[in-house]
Amino acid sequence: MAEIENTSPRPLVYAHLGDLHLTDAKARNYQDLLAILAQLEVEGAGQLDFIYLPGDVADNGQPAQYRLVTAALRLASVPVHLIAGDHDREPGSLANFYAVPAAAPLPKALTVQGVRCLFLDVCGPGTGGPDFRLGATQLAWLREQLSQLPAGTEAAVFMHTYPADLVEAAEQAQLVALLAQHRVALVDMGHTHYNELANDGATIYAATRSTGQIEEGPVGYSLVSLDQGVVSWRFKPLDGSFPFVLITAPADYRLLRHAGQAVGPQFLVRAVVFGANAVASAHYQLAGGPWLPMQRDAAGVWWAAASRPAGATLPLPLTVEVRDSTGRPGRHQVQLAPAPYQLPARPGAGSDAASLGAWEDNGILGTQLGPNRNARPLHPSS
């Protein structure tokens, strides 16, 4: 059997910095924001397409708080895309939010690495607090955007909350139906204050924990990729080491969007590596077998053509390990589903009903410690 070739374009890769809730320059969350941005600038150079801020940028929506984020974002050399959260709407409008130079009017659409990225505002149409709405105009805009997608083009939606958090049942139903009809690959959100992944069998829902109001786990950010329809997500603690590996393909069995993403007899292994030092070596291993070399393509993606072991069953562990020029290692492991594979029936409705639960190797503790599950009086309107 002829070896398959790495002909896929570079995946979309971005960093998600969870709800900042900025207050003042001396607060720990502002120092963490500066450290994260500096880390991404040094260790993520050339790997990121953009940085995403999912709303609740300012804790009270005050001009001084937005001046802090404006100053901090000068550290970033890649585009930064912001959306609004309920805390940004606290003054009664989003006027202060839109004074941030990086805050383009919402909704907005752009194509990055062949993926149509759609950024929504679920707070502006509301009256403040968790009164999440899209409004008829924005729903019509989203419907038009999705209906005009060229065949084979993947879409990702960026919004502050799960669709099920919309207060109008009719809007919930319309949005979920649009996502399903157009098989939107990814919905990426903030608001939960905890890391979470959900999979309804067609769309992956991803939430990254807050940077400013930490209920569980260490401060950090998520790194997300969309590689020819395969969604990959991994949390990077701020104090974690480099090099940091993200396998972009094939899909972990928990993140399969359709049965065609299960691995056949031959398949491509693809990964991106974050780190300031050059990668000296990269290898992959299947199911405890030998370590086999990977090579770097012109777009900076590490890849290899792999053969599935005879008799492989679910889960089939795939590990990618690299060493940089100083000898430091970095690795990532996913669990593959050998084809043929029947996806389990999953609840939909654009909610966390399809949550994957704990996935500690990827930074998901599964405890849902945050204001939207185990509510704490400290942040009643989060």
Q: What is the mean pLDDT of residues 250-273?
A: 97
User: Tens of pLDDT along 84-116?
Assistant: 999 999 999 999 999 999 999 999 999 999 999
If you count them, how many residues does the chain have?
Answer: 382
Q: What is the pLDDT of residue 4?
A: 86
Q: What is the mean pLDDT of residues 182-207?
A: 95
Give the single-character DSSP code of 136: H
Distance separating alpha carbons of residues 155 and 159, to the nearest angstrom? 13
Of 49-53, 270-274, 334-338, 341-345, the range with the lowest mean pLDDT is: 341-345
Distance separating alpha carbons of residues 339 and 13, to the nearest angstrom? 27
Q: What is the pLDDT of residue 217?
A: 86
Each as own residue / partner, the long-range contacts of residues 293-297 (CB below 8 Å, 24 or more positions apart, any chain) are: 294/269, 294/320, 297/6
Q: In whole numbers, what is the pLDDT of the chain averaged over residues?
A: 94
Q: How many CB atoms lie within 10 A of CB 343?
A: 16
Q: What is the pLDDT of residue 373?
A: 63
**CA angle at 299 for the pair 294 and 301, rounded to the nearest 5°:** 30
Is the confidence at residue 379, as pLDDT, over 90? Answer: no
Distance separating alpha carbons of residues 321 and 273, to the nearest angstrom? 10
Under DSSP, is residue 165 helix (H, G, I), strand (E, B) or coil?
helix
Q: What is the pLDDT of residue 348?
A: 73
Burial class for 135, CB neighbours closer than 10 Å (0-12, 13-18, 19+): middle
Helix axes 28-43, 63-72, angle to 10 degrees: 20
Alpha helix segments (H runs only) across the chain: 28-43, 63-72, 136-147, 169-181
Pairing mode, if any, of strands 186-189 and 204-207?
A: parallel
Q: What is the mean pLDDT of residues 7-17?
A: 96
pTM for the predicted model, two decimal places: 0.96
C-alpha to C-alpha distances, 272 to 44, 315, 339, nearest whole angstrom: 10, 22, 25
- For the domain made up of 12-238, give the CATH fold: Purple Acid Phosphatase; chain A, domain 2 (3.60.21)
Asked if residues 207 and 190 have their Cβ atoms less than 8 Å apart, the reply is: yes
Q: Phi and psi at residue 22, in whole multiples of 5°?
A: -70, 140
Q: What is the pLDDT of residue 216?
A: 80
- Give start-end residues of each CATH 2.60.40.650 domain in the chain: 253-336
Is the confidence at residue 1, as pLDDT, over 60? Answer: no
Asked if residues 57 and 72 have their Cβ atoms less than 8 Å apart, the reply is: no
CATH, range 253-336: 2.60.40.650
Helix (H) or strand (E) holding 226: strand 220-227
pLDDT band, very low/low/confident/very high, at 380 (cuts 50, 70, 90)? very low
pLDDT band, very low/low/confident/very high, at 374 (cuts 50, 70, 90)? low
Of 41-50, 248-257, 266-275, 367-376, the range with the lowest mean pLDDT is: 367-376
- Give start-end residues of each CATH 3.60.21.10 domain in the chain: 12-238
Q: What is the pLDDT of residue 372?
A: 64
Q: What is the mean pLDDT of residues 41-56?
A: 96
Which string of DSSP letters, residue by residue, matches 295-353?
A: EE-TTS-EEEEEEPPTT--SSEEEEEEEEETT--EEEEEEEE-BSS-PPPP---TTSGG
pLDDT band, very low/low/confident/very high, at 164 (cuts 50, 70, 90)? very high
Q: What is the pLDDT of residue 2?
A: 58
Distance separating alpha carbons of residues 6 and 305, to the nearest angstrom? 8
Q: What is the mean pLDDT of residues 209-235?
A: 94
Q: What is the mean pLDDT of residues 23-51?
A: 96
Q: What is the pLDDT of residue 371?
A: 66
pLDDT band, very low/low/confident/very high, at 382 (cuts 50, 70, 90)? very low
Share of residues in the chain with pLDDT > 90 (%):
89
Q: What is the mean pLDDT of residues 301-315?
A: 95
Q: What is the pLDDT of residue 347?
A: 80
